[in-house]
Amino acid sequence: MRERRERLVQFVNAQGSVTFAQLKKEFPDVSEMTLRTDLKSLDESRRIVRTHGGARSVEFVVGTDDLLLNRTTRNVEAKAAIAQKALGLVRPDSTIFLDSGSTTTALAHALPDDRLIVFTNSLTCAAELARLERARCIMVGGNLNRYSMSLNGSKTVEDVSALNVDLLFLGVTAFQSSTGFACGSDDEAALKRALIAHAERTAVLMDSTKLGRRSTFKICDLADVDYVVSDGNLTEHFKKYCEEAEVEVL
């Protein structure tokens, strides 16, 4: 029992936050009742924090999307694969916006040195873009969020409202069919909505672990975006949902 619970804590810490469905998949030989008992015990001993429908790491800060440093080390191969797929949407002589996040940072790292105007609110994306000589990188202003290493707030929304970009690469924390895409920060959710309104096309960069997760602040519905770029492990149900919403899955 002790070994199983230790593995459970390690899994939750590695993911940041998990749904009960993810726990059942990770521990297929453990009954639901035992898993719930383990979660209750670990919550009481403050090893994890139980949530509605799952659990989160005690290191996860409510009102944020967790430290970017923590997220950067999760699902690294999936994020690199998503970045490579997303490159197929980028055209020379176009304007793009890279939202903040670990997957958009992976995309910034992979971008070729083409003629582009790249806007971003992400410090890590900007650092990756600094190597490019032909692309022009422009950062929008705002308040520094030390958890996501990004700029947001009313100043950022104001800057974005003066833009019109060809393509937005959007990061999200969670997706549920009943609530749409969401994230853990109200400031970031407001900025993401403003970005969608000022982009010709929007591509969500999302690995399959985001499906079924809950997060606090709604960004938009599935029908509000044009593409979902993922790691190839999306459920058939979600892909059918995308087809009905006329959203292309890459």
Evaluate whether residue 62 is within a structural domain. no
Kindly state whether residue 63 falls inside one of the protein's structural domains: no
Is 217:180 a contact under the CB 8 Å cutoff? no
Which amino acid would we find at residue 151?
L
Q: How far apart are the first and last CA of the chain?
A: 41
pLDDT reading at 208 higher than 60: yes
> Residue 150: which of 111, 186, 120 has the closest Cα?
120
The stretch 162-174 carries a mean pLDDT of 96
Hey, CA dihedral for 207, 212, 217, 220, is it positive or negative? positive
Q: What pLDDT is recorded for position 64?
A: 46
Q: What's the pLDDT tens digit per position in 146-163?
A: 888 899 999 999 999 999
User: Which one of 30, 57, 84 terminates a domain?
Assistant: 57
User: And the tokens for 22?
Assistant: 């993810």
- CB-count exposure of residue 17 (10 Å: 0-12, 13-18, 19+): buried
pLDDT for residue 58 is more than 90: no
Q: Are residues 50 and 83 in the same domain?
A: no
Number of structural domains found in the chain:
2
235-247 pLDDT per residue, tens: 899 999 999 999 9
Residue range of the domain that includes 50: 2-57
Q: Could you give the 3-state DSSP secondary structure of residue 244?
A: helix
> CB under 8 Å to 127, separation ≥6 — which residues?
none
Report the range of poorest mean pLDDT among 129-133, 163-167, 190-194, 207-211. Answer: 207-211
Indicate if 46 and 72 belong to the same structural domain. Answer: no
Per-residue pLDDT, 68: 46
Q: Supply the pLDDT for residue 74.
A: 57
Its pTM stands at: 0.75
Asked if 159 and 50 sit in the same domain, the reply is no
Query: Quick one: 19 and 102 in the same domain?
Result: no
- Looking at 96-110, 138-152, 158-172, which range is the least confident one? 138-152
- The answer to whether 80 and 106 are in contact (CB under 8 A) is yes
- What whole-number percentage of the chain has pLDDT above 90? 61
Could you tell me which residue, 67 or 29, shows the higher pLDDT?
Answer: 29
The two structure tokens encoding residue 239:
């892909």
Claim to verify: residue 119 and residue 29 sit in the same structural domain: no
**219 and 125 in one domain?**
yes
Asked which of 57, 80, 100 is the last residue of a domain, the reply is: 57
Torsion of CA 50, 218, 60, 191, to 10 degrees: -170
Listed residues 37, 57, 77: the one ending a domain: 57
Asked if residue 62 has pLDDT above 70, the reply is: no
Is there a contact between 105 and 85 (Cβ–Cβ < 8 Å)?
no
Q: Please, which residues have CB within 8 angstroms of residue 236's CB and are 6 or more apart in sequence?
A: none
Residue owning tokens 């308040």: 143
Is 80 exceeded by the pLDDT of residue 113? yes
The answer to whether position 98 is within a domain reads yes
Q: Between 40 and 248, name the one with better pLDDT.
A: 248
Burial of 167 (0-12, 13-18, 19+ CB in 10 A): buried
Asked whether residue 39 falls in the same domain as residue 123, the answer is no
Shared domain for 53 and 72, answered yes or no, is no
Same domain, 119 and 204: yes
Confidence of residue 46 (pLDDT cuts 50, 70, 90): confident
Pair (139, 105) in one structural domain: yes
Chain length of the chain: 250
Residues 136 and 192 in one domain: yes
> How confident is the model over 186-206, as pLDDT tens digits?
899 999 999 999 999 999 999
Residue 219 in any domain: the answer is yes
Place of tokens 């916006």: 97
Q: Which helix (H) or strand (E) holds 183?
A: strand 180-183
Are 31 and 120 in the same domain? no
For residue 174, give the CATH number of its domain. 3.40.50.1360
